[in-house]
Amino acid sequence: MVKYQTEILLTIILVFVMIILILLSKKAIQRFGFIRSIEANRRKIIFKLSHLLIYVIAISILAIIWGVDHKQFAVFISSVLAVLGVGFFAQWSLLSSLTASVILFFNHPVRIGDRIRILDKDFDWTGEIMDITGFYLFMKTDDGRNITIPNSLVMQKGIEILEKKELN
């Protein structure tokens, strides 16, 4: 027991730091979401992504604390990344839509309830944004159709905001 006293203490400290980081990130995202009037579903996506990042960093620090051999750890991480890379390459549109969702959350002016026109030479998509999720933007067009547009496409196309929803 005495042999691993330092490692156990550092692990407990790491757990407390993780909890504090998760709480702080949650408060920061909530505050940012409230200031920018961002919906709960969109905030939830960012919560999950920030928590995932915190967990990955914590696992890496745990490996260092417990003295996992760097070469073995590097082989493990590169294997995981290779599998993820193959999976995401096969579904690259999912990764790009998820990345676009994060960009839409922080930097794009469109919000649920806005009337927009997506500038596309082939289609006239004009309507109201009903929801924005991790992968799709849901829109009700002026002629009553419900359409789903991948977030990556929203980032690629020009968007004209016709009418902004009033902030509460």
The mean pLDDT value of the chain amounts to: 85
The C-alpha atoms of residue 118 and residue 120 are separated, in whole angstroms, by: 6
Question: 86 and 9 in one domain?
Answer: yes
pTM of the complete model beyond 0.75: no
Domain shared by 67 and 140, yes or no: no
pLDDT at site 93? 66
**Mean pLDDT computed over 29-42:** 83
63 CB-near residues (< 8 Å, 6+ apart) = 73
User: Which DSSP category does 4 fall into?
Assistant: G
Give the count of domains, the chain: 2
CA–CA separation, 117 and 16 (whole Å): 47
Q: What's the pLDDT at 40?
A: 80
Q: Which of 60, 65, 30, 61 has its CA nearest to residue 47?
A: 30
Is the same domain home to 66 and 126?
Answer: no
Choosing from 47, 63, 90, the residue where a domain stops is: 90
CA–CA dist 68, 114 (Å, integer): 51
How do residues 54-79 score in pLDDT, each as one tens digit? 998 999 899 889 888 888 888 888 88
DSSP H or E run through 7: helix 5-35
DSSP states along 10-63: HHHHHHHHHHHHHHHHHHHHHHHHHHTT--HHHHHHHHHHHHHHHHHHHHHHHH
Residues 121 and 156 in one domain: yes
pLDDT at 168: 54
- Top-confidence residue, 6 or 38: 6
Based on the domain organization, do 6 and 85 belong to the same domain?
yes
pLDDT digits (tens, 9 = 90+) for 72-116: 888 888 888 787 776 666 556 667 777 787 787 777 788 888 999
Domain annotation covers residue 83: yes
Is-contact 159 110, C-beta < 8 A? yes
User: Which residue bears the tokens 């998820």?
Assistant: 98
Structural domain includes residue 99: no
Q: For residues 109 and 163, is the Cβ–Cβ distance under 8 A?
A: no
Higher pLDDT, 101 or 11: 11
What pLDDT is attached to residue 13? 96
Say if residue 84 is in the same domain as residue 122: no
- Regarding whether 143 and 72 lie in a shared domain, the answer is no
15 with 54, same domain?
A: yes
Q: What is the mean pLDDT of residues 14-26?
A: 95
Does residue 157 lie in a domain region? yes
**Predicted pLDDT at 23:** 95
Task: For residues 74 and 115, state if they share a domain.
Answer: no
Q: Specify the CATH number for the domain of residue 153.
A: 2.30.30.520
Q: Do 18 and 75 belong to one domain? A: yes
Q: Domain limits at 148?
A: 109-163
Please check whether residues 79 and 118 belong to one and the same domain: no
Residue 33 lies in a domain: yes
pLDDT, residue 79, reads 85
Digit-coded pLDDT (tens) for 111-140? 888 999 988 888 878 999 998 888 889 999
CA 110, CA 106: separation in Å to the nearest integer? 11
